[in-house]
Amino acid sequence: MDTANGELLHREEWNDHLIEIIASDGLRSLFFASRFLQSCMSVNHPERLQLSYTRYMLLGLPALESVQHILIIGIGAGSLIHYCHHHYPESVIDAVDSSPRIITLARQYFMLPEDDRIRIHCADGLAFLEEAAAGRHYDLILVDAFDHEGMAENIYSSPFFRRCSTMLADQGMLSCNLWSGDDHLLGTIRQSIAAYLDGHIFVSVPDRDNAVILAFRQPVPWDRFIRSREEWLELEARFDLDFRTMLKVARNESRSLLQRLFPVFPWS
């Protein structure tokens, strides 16, 4: 069946919520309620991040010295799993989603990678942290837990971020995708994260309603972003991300915090 936006591969009602999967120009997209694009994947290159907010979630990768253990809260179509599995071939990934149906669709339509390095968990994200993941430490925690109504309330909450803070490695990073339509809610979330983690980068994703917050146990290690042009080119090729452009956006949004360091950055 064809739709105005491409070929409709799948449509169903799950728990009174409409889920659609549409194919177009080599891409497969997961929609909630016909309006909310949740994930998008290239069939030929599933490791490439198609949506800009997912790329901004990873703009802090140059600050991480080692990534061996990764936690992903919110599987969706598995874009972040594909990316991390490809770019960190020696890492172990815990991926958590509360919807068994979403996990099944990710397997059926989005080639969800599964091997001895990827552990898929059908569980509430907060409950997973409190029970199954107790005692573990993660170098990278990615939070992208949305449904048709927006951010999952129990995930974007003070108890959740408190648990994240206890499980984040000393040199690790927490990265959260936020929906920026509610300024009061965004402020509450930022305060919750700041209560438990000292370093933060907040970025509004250009031309989207998403925002991203990156958080660290220590103050943001800005010195790790001071690199030569050749080093940036190597990193950008390795991770398939335009770090310098994204960092310019972060600089412009957080100028008061970064004005001491960013003037010496080799942007050209």
Residue 182 annotated as catalytic: no
- Rg (C-alpha) for the chain, rounded Å, is 18
Average pLDDT of 21-27?
95
Of the candidates 136, 158, 156, the residue with the CA atom closest to the CA atom of residue 146: 156
> Predicted confidence band at 34 (pLDDT cuts at 50, 70, 90)?
low
Q: What whole-number percentage of the chain has pLDDT above 90?
A: 75
Q: Is the pLDDT of residue 263 over 60?
A: no
Does residue 100 register a pLDDT over 50?
yes
pLDDT tier for residue 78 given thresholds of 50, 70 and 90: very high
Q: Is the pLDDT of residue 162 over 80?
A: yes
- Give residue 262's pLDDT: 47
Question: Considering only 42-56, 144-158, 235-249, which range has the smallest mean pLDDT?
Answer: 144-158
CATH class of 47-255: alpha beta
pLDDT at position 14, please? 82
* More confidently predicted of 237 and 253: 237
d(CA 234, CA 172): 22
pTM score of the predicted model: 0.91
Given pLDDT bands bounded at 50, 70 and 90, which one contains residue 148? low
Give me the pLDDT at residue 120, please: 97
The answer on pLDDT for 255 being more than 50 is yes
Question: What one-letter code names the amino acid at 107?
Answer: R
- C-alpha–C-alpha distance, residues 64 and 82, integer Å: 19
* Residue-level pLDDT at 154: 85
Token pair recorded at residue 106: 């990710």
> Which residue is catalytic, options 25, 144, 182, 207?
144
What pLDDT, on a 0 to 100 scale, did the predictor assign at position 258? 47
Closest to 21 in 3D by CA, of 33, 13, 30: 30
Q: Which of 241, 244, 250 is nearest to 55 (CA)?
A: 241
pLDDT for residue 256 = 46
With tokens 């497969």, the residue in question is: 28
pLDDT of residue 149: 67
Above 70 in pLDDT, residue 261?
Answer: no
**pLDDT interval class at 185 (50, 70, 90):** confident
Q: Has residue 218 got a pLDDT over 50?
A: yes
For residue range 60-77, list pLDDT tens digits in order: 999 999 999 999 999 999
